[in-house]
Structure 1
Amino acid sequence: MIFVDTNFFLRFLLADNKGQFQEVKSLFSQAAEGRVKLFTSIIVYFEIYWVLSSFYKQNKPDTASTLEQILEMEFIFLEEHEILKTALKMFAGSNLSLEDCYNLAFAKSKKARSFKTFDKRLAKYFS
């Protein structure tokens, strides 16, 4: 298995470095054909979110769309994939941060009885 880090995804998603974009595209094609197995982590996913929204100043709809592209890459294993899908849907339709949406989705997936926070806005989303 091959681990895919943040900057590898970013070069593919942004296509801002032709050589690196081609390298990533080649690896992703191999994975899509089943010749190699790829995986990444939730931390990488959140780093991509941070870089796109903070460094590249992408607006929320564009960031959500880009993050959705990653979740659609079925050839890359990502733990808690379904939780991230739920969180991303929540993120796109609310004024919450992706981190808050992930925590809500994670808590619901674990059948939490309640969600303890002092953030009243966030608490309203847990029901």
Structure 2
Amino acid sequence: MIGLDTNILLRFLLKDDAAQTDKVTALFENLSDTAPGYISCITLMECTWFLRHRIKLKREQIVEAISDLLDSADLILEDERVIEEALGIMVRTNAEFADVFIALRNRDAGCVTTKTFDAQAAKTIPGMELL
């Protein structure tokens, strides 16, 4: 298994730097179900934040990008079940991936609630409460 950093994942998704994209493409072509790439929760969170706030992708594009990663037989995403649940909530609400993912991970860690100053998140995400 090979860990993938955020900048590798971003080059794979954006293909915005020819030289780096060529290297990432070669790396991804050598991944397999017996030697997969690994995307940690931290990497995924950083990547989705960057795509949403720096690149200004729409929520629907974020859902599609993460879904494509989940569908790859050559990639393992940490906490895939929670990621899939977060995507489902995103589709049904106007919540952001990071907010939903944080609330779900906290729930799974045994938290009874996740306190936030984000009124929209508290209103739409199960387990989030406004402080």
What is the TM-score with the length of structure 1 in the denominator?
Answer: 0.78
8 A Cα contact 2:3 2:38, kept in partner: yes
The answer as to 2:40 corresponding to 1:38 is no
> Gapped runs of 5+ residues in structure 2?
none
Query: 1:103, 1:83 → 2: CA distance?
Result: 10
Where does residue 57 of structure 1 map in the other structure? Answer: 56
> Gapped runs of 5+ residues in structure 1?
none
8 A Cα contact 2:49 2:98, kept in partner: no
- What is the percent sequence identity of the aligned residues? 23
Query: 1:76, 1:5 → 2: CA distance?
Result: 13
8 A Cα contact 2:36 2:75, kept in partner: yes
Partner AA of 1:53 in structure 2: R
Where does residue 14 of structure 1 map in the other structure? Answer: 14
Total equivalences in the alignment: 123
The answer as to 2:113 corresponding to 1:115 is yes
1:58 is paired with a residue of what secondary structure?
Answer: coil
Query: 1:45, 1:87 → 2: CA distance?
Result: 12
Partner AA of 1:12 in structure 2: F
Query: 1:4, 1:107 → 2: CA distance?
Result: 24
The alpha-carbon distance between structure 1 residues 102 and 2, as it changes in their structure 2 partners (threshold 3 A), is same
What is the TM-score with the length of structure 2 in the denominator?
Answer: 0.76
Give the RMSD, CA atoms, in angstroms: 2.4
Report deviation, 1:73: 2.2
Report deviation, 1:106: 3.4
2:85 is paired with a residue of what secondary structure?
Answer: helix
Report deviation, 1:72: 1.8
The answer as to 2:88 corresponding to 1:89 is yes
The alpha-carbon distance between structure 1 residues 33 and 52, as it changes in their structure 2 partners (threshold 3 A), is same
Residues 104-123 of structure 1 deviation map (CA, whole Å, 9 limit, x = unaligned)? 4335656x695354655146
